[in-house]
């Protein structure tokens, strides 16, 4: 099974990571020791040679020592960065195993995206602990998470884009190494939130100002040479230096804040360079993936290369605090030329920054769905969004939050305006889970994501659920009134004119049995006449008799078998109303003494 293959792969990646980390940590300790030794050696040799007045030897040794120390420092930083990346990769694979085993409680569920008034958030476990979001989310940026939440809440409205998304997911799913490195690069960025380029102001340097500064710099270089050759008076050189310093500090006084803002912005933006390069380096075949990659190129330069240029500018700006830089800058106004480069960069690329990050967030969402698809491709498929209205056909459907291989799968189909499937059955037999199975798979289908079914053909419909209505002490709302508000919201949704697919569980359960049955009968008759179709789960067998007078309605049920104190469920959907119930058996098992 693909599930077992995926589990074996993730375990092997963890073992490989552990082996690499063990080796790298030994190197890390060795390099730390060598850095300390080299530092102490420099101090000791410096004291020795200086005390013996051997300045030439001291200078040579210091030069060699600094090069050696720099080499060790660079390699030590590389080792530590590699340790961080492999640690993240190990954690990613550990999380994948948790997802495979459906141990989702420690994986963030996107609670901040939950909206209790949303058409289906409350009942389909889209967000929150042990949610669909926990299972699917592999995004690393705030904006990527928001886009995934938007897709799970609204789907994709264009059927052609759904098809393209499906093909993109199929292409990415087997590229596990590429996908996990993409995720590692994103997780390596602390506070992964796209920087705001609009807040950064860069003013164009006038041509006159540039020409004057170039003239002053050339004049200064000429005077330095002429004074060195004893051709001109040193006073001319001093005058030239004073003029250049005045020119520089007049410019600096106006650029302190823009420079600081530019340093912060370029530093943040440069962190994404490797993510874009990772996308640019991959060859794609699917239309959507190729189109997204193409959007990273402008003026024949890729986003990764453009950010490398910005990183170079940012590096110079960061060194403005260096004393050597300040001396050279005072003489030649290097700042002016850096700001010319900065302004040119923003002129060329500022307008492309939002699009680059749109591409990144799209890949984050595609990677999330591709990771979900990879876990069990043999059991998952992609839905067909049909142009035919009010159509639902699903085969071998299972709920994604149940562990693969341990689910009971069901087939179901219905079609036609006003069609209603009435599901009766005993307690715990699977009615509510089946409703959620249909709803969640439709949510996935409208995202272009894989569905947990052998086949799903579905029309474009707005999903609406009413299953977990609760009272509210603070809002002075009873459970029954909360349910009425939810049904009112359903009717309002239908009145908007778009096709609606509803899933209702135990409607009007908060009132007495007579009012519940009469109210349910009235609601069913009303829904049949409206621009909608859906399923209703209930314990009220009286409602199943409506099938005789309402051809739009079909009866289905889940059953159980009571054997002594044990109750057995097969969780299979069957046609017709339920004829066996287990409530009395359950009550007896709980110690309630019922009269026979």
Query: Distance between CA atoms of 312 and 103, rounded to whole angstroms?
Result: 45
Residue 172 inside a domain? The answer is: no
Say if residue 313 is in the same domain as residue 249.
yes
Q: Which two tokens stand for residue 96?
A: 């994948």
pLDDT-derived band at 70, boundaries 50, 70, 90: low
Domain residue limits at 313 = 207-270+298-355
User: Is the residue at 194 inside a domain?
Assistant: no
446 with 391, same domain?
yes
Six token digits for residue 413: 């189909």
- 263 versus 528: the higher-pLDDT residue is 528
What own/partner pairs with CB < 8 Å and gap ≥ 24 does 256-265 have? 258/200, 258/201, 258/202, 258/203, 258/339, 259/317, 259/320, 259/335, 259/339, 261/199, 261/200, 261/201, 262/200, 262/202, 262/313, 262/314, 262/317, 262/342, 263/314, 263/317, 263/318, 265/195, 265/197, 265/200
Work out the average pLDDT over 310-338.
74
The secondary structure of residue 138, as a DSSP letter, is -
- Bridge partners of 472, per DSSP, are 477
**The dihedral sign for the CA sequence 215, 221, 223, 229:** negative
d(CA 403, CA 101): 6
Give the CATH number, domain containing residue 421.
Answer: 3.40.50.300
**Per-residue pLDDT, 559:** 79
pLDDT tens-digit series, residues 515-571: 888 888 889 999 999 999 999 998 888 888 888 888 889 999 887 776 556 667 788
Average pLDDT over residues 209-213: 79
pLDDT at site 54: 60
- The conformation of residue 197, written as its DSSP 8-state character, comes to S
Residue 389 is given by DSSP the state S
Based on the domain organization, do 559 and 517 belong to the same domain?
yes
Report if residue 132 sits inside a domain.
Answer: no
Does residue 113 form part of some domain?
no
**Does a structural domain hold residue 383?**
yes
Average pLDDT over the chain, rounded to an integer: 83
Rounded Cα gap, residues 578 and 428, in angstroms? 13
Q: 26: Cβ–Cβ under 8 A, 6 or more apart, which residues?
A: none
What would the mean pLDDT of 129-147 be, rounded to a whole number? Answer: 95
Residue 594 domain-assigned? no
Q: How far is CA 20 from CA 27, 87, 120, 194, 486, in A?
A: 11, 10, 45, 32, 55
Among 328-337, 350-359, 470-479, which is the least confidently predicted range? 470-479
More confident residue, 72 or 558: 558
Whether residue 170 is predicted with pLDDT greater than 70 in this model: the reply is yes
Terminal Cα distance for the chain, rounded = 49
Q: Do residue 322 and residue 424 come from a single domain?
A: no
**Token reading at 352:** 């492309």
- Tell me how far apart the alpha carbons of residues 137 and 104 are, in angstroms, rounded to a whole number: 11
Q: What are phi and psi of 19, to 5 degrees?
A: -65, -45
Task: State phi, psi for 23 to the nearest 5 degrees.
Answer: -70, -45
75, 100, 125: which is the final residue of a domain?
Answer: 100
Q: What are phi and psi of 501, to 5 degrees?
A: -115, 115
Q: Are residues 513 and 572 in the same domain?
A: yes
H-only helix segments in 271-285: 273-280
What percent of the chain is modeled with pLDDT above 90?
42
Ramachandran angles phi, psi of 271, nearest 5°: -65, -25
Lowest-confidence range among 134-138, 247-251, 453-457? 247-251
What's residue 459's pLDDT? Answer: 95
Question: Which has the minimum average pLDDT: 107-116, 154-163, 227-236, 374-383?
Answer: 227-236
How many domains does the structure of the chain reveal?
A: 3
Q: Are 379 and 2 in contact (CB under 8 A)?
A: yes
CA angle 484, 487, 492 (to 5 degrees): 125
Residues 317 and 264 sit within 8 Å (Cβ to Cβ): no
- For residues 393 and 314, membership in a common domain is answered with no
Positions of E strands within 263-325: 297-298, 301-302
| pLDDT higher at 435 or 254 | 435
Rounded to an integer, the average pLDDT of 34-51 is 70
- pLDDT tier at 340, thresholds 50, 70, 90: confident
Same domain for 76 and 215, yes or no, is: no
Judgement on whether residues 390 and 485 belong to the same structural domain of the protein: yes
- pTM for the structure as a whole: 0.83
Domain identity same for 327 and 414:
no
Residue 292 domain flag: no
Q: Is the pLDDT of residue 189 over 80?
A: yes
User: Looking at 61-70, 114-123, 478-487, which range is the least confident one?
Assistant: 61-70
pLDDT for 584 beyond 70: no
Domain match, 381 and 447 both = yes
Q: Are strands 381-382 and 301-302 parallel, antiparallel or unpaired?
A: unpaired
Domain boundary, last residue among 100, 116, 139: 100
Are 265 and 393 within one domain?
no
Would residue 202 count as lying in a domain?
Answer: no
CA 38 remoteness from chain centre: 44
| The pLDDT of residue 535 | 96
Q: Is the same domain home to 506 and 580?
A: yes
User: What's the pLDDT score for residue 59?
Assistant: 60
Beta-carbon count within 10 A of 61 CB:
17
Q: Which of 51, 73, 100 is the last residue of a domain?
A: 100
């Amino acid at each position: 099974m693909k599930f077992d293959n995926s589990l074996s792969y993730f375990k092997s990646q963890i073992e490989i990571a552990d082996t690499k980390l063990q080796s790298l940590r030994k190197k890390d300790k060795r390099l730390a020791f060598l850095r300390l030794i080299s530092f102490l050696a420099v101090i000791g040799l410096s004291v020795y040679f200086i005390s013996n007045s051997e300045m030439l030897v001291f200078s040579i040794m210091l030069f060699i020592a600094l090069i050696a120390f720099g080499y060790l420092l660079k390699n030590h930083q590389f080792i530590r960065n590699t340790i961080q990346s492999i640690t993240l990769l190990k954690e990613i694979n550990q999380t994948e195993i948790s997802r495979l085993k459906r141990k989702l409680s420690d994986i963030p569920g996107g609670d901040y995206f939950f909206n209790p008034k949303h058409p289906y958030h409350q009942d389909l476990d889209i967000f929150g602990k042990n949610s669909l979001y926990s299972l699917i989310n592999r995004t690393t940026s705030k904006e990527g998470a928001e886009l995934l939440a938007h897709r799970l809440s609204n789907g994709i409205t264009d059927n052609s884009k759904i098809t393209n998304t499906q093909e993109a997911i199929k292409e990415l799913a087997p590229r596990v190494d590429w996908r996990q490195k993409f995720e590692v690069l994103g997780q390596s960025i602390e506070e992964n939130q796209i920087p705001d380029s609009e807040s950064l102001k860069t003013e164009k340097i006038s041509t006159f100002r540039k020409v004057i500064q170039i003239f002053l710099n050339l004049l200064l270089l000429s005077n330095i040479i002429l004074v060195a050759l004893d051709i001109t008076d040193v006073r001319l050189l001093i005058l030239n230096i004073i003029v250049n310093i005045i020119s520089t500090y007049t410019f600096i006084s106006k650029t302190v804040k823009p420079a600081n803002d530019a340093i912060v912005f370029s530093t943040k933006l440069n962190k994404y360079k490797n993510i874009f390069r990772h996308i640019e380096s991959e060859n794609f075949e699917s239309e959507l993936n190729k189109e997204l990659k193409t959007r990273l190129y402008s003026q024949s330069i890729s986003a990764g290369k453009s950010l490398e240029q910005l990183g170079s500018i940012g590096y110079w700006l960061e060194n403005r605090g260096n004393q050597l830089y300040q001396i050279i800058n005072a003489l030649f106004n290097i700042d002016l030329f850096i700001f010319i480069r900065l302004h040119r960069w923003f002129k060329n690329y500022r307008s492309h920054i939002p699009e680059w990050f749109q591409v990144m967030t799209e890949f984050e969402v595609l990677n999330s769905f591709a990771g979900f698809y990879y876990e069990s491709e043999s059991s998952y498929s992609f839905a067909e969004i049909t142009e035919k209205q009010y159509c639902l056909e699903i085969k071998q459907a299972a709920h994604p939050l149940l562990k693969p291989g341990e689910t009971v799968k069901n087939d179901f189909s219905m079609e036609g305006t006003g069609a209603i499937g009435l599901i009766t059955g005993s307690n715990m037999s699977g009615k509510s889970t089946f409703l959620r199975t249909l709803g969640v798979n439709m949510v996935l289908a409208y995202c272009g994501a894989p569905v947990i079914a052998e086949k799903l053909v579905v029309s474009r419909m707005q999903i609406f659920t009413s299953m977990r209505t609760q009272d509210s002490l603070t809002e002075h709302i009873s459970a029954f009134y909360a349910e009425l508000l939810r049904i009112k919201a359903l009717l309002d949704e239908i009145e908007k004119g778009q096709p609606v697919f509803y899933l209702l569980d135990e409607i009007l359960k908060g009132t007495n049995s007579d009012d519940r049955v009469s109210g349910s009968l009235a609601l069913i008759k009303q829904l049949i006449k409206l621009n909608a179709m859906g399923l209703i789960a209930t314990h009220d067998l009286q409602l199943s008799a409506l099938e005789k007078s309402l051809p739009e309605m079909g009866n289905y049920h889940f059953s159980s078998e009571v054997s002594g104190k044990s109750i057995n469920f097969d969780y299979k959907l069957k046609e017709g109303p339920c004829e066996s119930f287990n409530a009395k058996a359950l009550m007896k098992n709980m110690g309630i003494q019922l009269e026979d």
